[in-house]
Amino acid sequence: MAIALLRLPERVPICAKDYFNVASGVIQKLLTPAQARQVAYKVAAIELQDYFNYWHLVGPASAAKPFLVSSQRDGTVKLASGKVLSYRPYSWKSANDFTLLMSLDLHFVGWHGAWNEGRNDRFVTFTRASHGQTFSMALNTGP
């Protein structure tokens, strides 16, 4: 028996009061607070990995615009490869504002600036205006 999956448009009500299909495909209101945090952390880690992939493909200046806070968009370091290894929660204000301690594996082309070649640990603050939007990230060596 085959199961067909449908992708509903954003914010289409489904079967129960005040539960909505969110564009990300996760029905947040059905999750416990702890589960919702884990989902937010995972989405954030995926977005950081997306940033590294984009940084590698298009360079630091172009990649920074859609991903980083405006104060961190002036980079010149070229990334050869980057990978999110793990993350640990550091602070939580909401699903739209939290900080994770991220363990990263980064390799560069030429000068690597303030980054380490290989293992890097960074505090990454993830913020967004509303749920369903992408995060703006601030990467720092301390909280």
Range of the domain at 97: 33-140
Q: Using one digit for the tens of pLDDT, what is the confidence trace for 100-121? A: 999 999 999 998 888 999 999 9
Evaluate whether residue 106 is within a structural domain.
Answer: yes
Evaluate whether residue 41 is within a structural domain.
Answer: yes
Ranges under pLDDT 70 in the chain: 1-29
**Span between the terminal Cα atoms of the chain, in Å:** 51
Residue-averaged pLDDT of the chain:
84
- State how many domains the chain has: 1
Evaluate whether residue 7 is within a structural domain.
Answer: no
Evaluate whether residue 23 is within a structural domain.
Answer: no
Give pTM, 2 decimals. Answer: 0.78
